[in-house]
Amino acid sequence: MLLEQGTTLRALEPCARHSLRAPLRSCLLQDEQFADLADMSLSGDITVEGEITVPVGAPSPDEDFSTLDEPVRETIMRDLKAVGKKFVHVMYPKKSSTLLRDWDLWGPLVLCVSLALMLQGGSADSKEDGGPQFAEVFVIIWFGAVVITLNSKLLGGTISFFQSLCVLGYCVLPLTVAMLVCRLVLLAGAGTISFVVRLLVVLAMFAWSTLASTAFLADSQPPNRKALVVYPIFLFYFVISWMILTFTPQ
Amino acid sequence: ASKAFSLYANIDILRPYFDVEPAQVRARLLESMIPVKMVNFPQKIAGELYGPLMLVFTLVAILLHGMKTSDTIIREGTLMGTAIGTCFGYWLGVSSFIYFLAYLCNAQITMVQMLSLLGYGLFGHCITLFVTYNIHFHSLFYIFWLGVGGLSTLRMVAVLVSRTVGHTQRLILCGTLAALHMLFLLYLHFAYHKVVEGILDTLEGPNVPPFQRVARDIPVVSNALLNTTAKAAALTL
């Protein structure tokens, strides 16, 4: 189908509104504007299947796709849903690129803050403010993530800085769950059994974190250097697990 | 945006130092424990930063683990800072100091090579501390200190000797490095050892640690603890 120069897509308006399951030619023939084109010879009916979204009409001001006019609740819910979807991806690590493509740092921030808050209130001596300080946990998590990212980039990784930060932050989720469980177990008492239970839970979550982040990050490395990237991630989650395991409440 | 760009440009400066394969790292770790006898020809040092950096972080992790299992009475908040500060301070500080001495003694070694050499020398420290933090025998520690620590020190000394000319220079450089390296291991083991209340009780025992570290961050330090620590130090000297 030949269009003369200058024919705008606007002329196709009527046709675009039909779902293009009918052969294109017959669709065109229904419109008088294209009556002249009916004389064109086509080798056959060109059946076009599927749906084509053609930008119909000029963008009118009312239909502007801007998020400024939508209610605040919608904006927040959209971001929350994105964060929630990523949480699910972390808990069931499949090889998907959602975490990498739409990176955001909300989830890591929430996890980091909640972990740091839960690590407060522990002490070695009742007179002192035991437990790692809030700022300490914060700095360790973010500084550790930055170091790992730099390391993987220096080893020739193809992942971007913030994508890597995003993945490492989200994979702290199992450890936050472990912290929650530890606190609950410690409510019941702080004996040997509770220590063993906490140890097992923390070990399991540590393995889960490391495996989840490896599943996302290792693909972006040259294949023979995967071990070099996995080791610092292992150390990083080890330090966080150590902080969780050694937490003793007042 | 130009600032971010310059950050990436700086990262690229470090890129060639991270160009390693896992097999190479493994080989270098093992080599760091084997002193090479050949001192007439300058020995090759790989100027690589991945292995040393990972070893420093591993040392930090081991120290954290050890501090916890030995119930060091410091506020937990500063355990992390202390461990990171100690390890990185040692690696960077002693490397710079030895590099400076090497410059004075006309040794042929670059800063990156020195960082790399000392970093791999920490492998011996890592092994020793990992084993002795879990098995608490003083005699075992001394065996490991001499054996493992000694081997890694000998390797570094051999490399430096092969790159320095003149007996005095060799003595200064290698003596300093050996002393610092071995003393660091000693410090790590005993400084993070138990700081028990009843230190007077252990004074009568045969295996008294030579010195105790008084944690600098305890705000409410009982006078008794200070006194007993001073007594122990005075009695062993």
Task: Give me the DSSP letters along A76-145.
Answer: HHHHHHHHHHHHHHHHS--S-SHHHHT--SHHHHHHHHHHHHHTTTB-SSTTS--S--HHHHHHHHHHHH
* Cα A71 to Cα A57: distance, rounded to the nearest angstrom: 26
Task: Identify from B54, B57, B78, B216 which residue to disrupt to test chain A contact, counting A C-beta atoms within 10 A and taking the largest count.
Answer: B57
Instruction: Name residues 109-168 of chain B within 8 A of A (Cβ).
Output: none
| Domains in chain B: boundaries | 44-206
Selection from B29, B55, B8, B59 nearest residue A154 by Cα: B8
* Cα B168 to Cα A142: distance, rounded to the nearest angstrom: 47
* Cα A105 to Cα A110: distance, rounded to the nearest angstrom: 9
Residues constituting chain B? 237
The count of other CB atoms within 10 Å of the CB of residue A109 is 14
* Cα A244 to Cα A235: distance, rounded to the nearest angstrom: 14
ipTM passes above 0.85? no
* Cα A210 to Cα A144: distance, rounded to the nearest angstrom: 14
Interchain contact, B218 vs A150, CB within 8 Å: no
* Cα A77 to Cα A62: distance, rounded to the nearest angstrom: 23
Query: Chain B contacts of A238, Cβ < 8 Å?
Result: 61
Residue B167, phi-psi category: left (phi > 0), alpha (psi -120 to 50), beta (remainder): alpha
Query: Chain A contacts of B22, Cβ < 8 Å?
Result: 224-225, 227-228
Rg of chain A over CA atoms, in angstroms?
28
pLDDT tens-place string over residues A54-74: 665 554 444 446 667 778 888
Q: What is the DSSP string of B22-65?
A: HHHHHHHHHHTTS-----SSPPP----SHHHHHHHHHHHHHHHH
Of B11, B73, B80, nearest to A124 by CB-CB distance is B73
pLDDT tens-place string over residues A160-181: 888 888 889 888 999 999 999 9
**Lookup: tokens for A192:** 């040997």
Query: Chain B contacts of A224, Cβ < 8 Å?
Result: 21-22
Query: How many degrees, rounded to 5, is the angle at CA B94 between CA B90 and CA B99?
Result: 155
Query: How many degrees, rounded to 5, is the angle at CA A115 between CA A109 and CA A120?
Result: 130
User: Nearest residue of B to residue A237 by CA position?
Assistant: B61
Q: Under DSSP, is residue B231 helix (H, G, I), strand (E, B) or coil? A: helix
Per-residue pLDDT at B39 = 79
pLDDT in tens, chain B (237 residues): 666 666 666 777 777 888 888 888 888 888 888 888 887 888 888 888 888 999 999 998 888 887 766 655 445 556 677 788 889 999 999 999 999 999 998 888 899 999 999 999 999 999 998 888 887 778 888 899 999 999 999 999 999 888 888 899 899 999 999 999 999 998 888 776 543 223 333 443 444 445 544 554 444 444 445 555 656 656 665
A81's CB contacts (< 8 A; 6+ apart) are: none
Task: Give how far A123 is from chain B: nearest CA, Å.
Answer: 8
* Cα A155 to Cα A227: distance, rounded to the nearest angstrom: 11
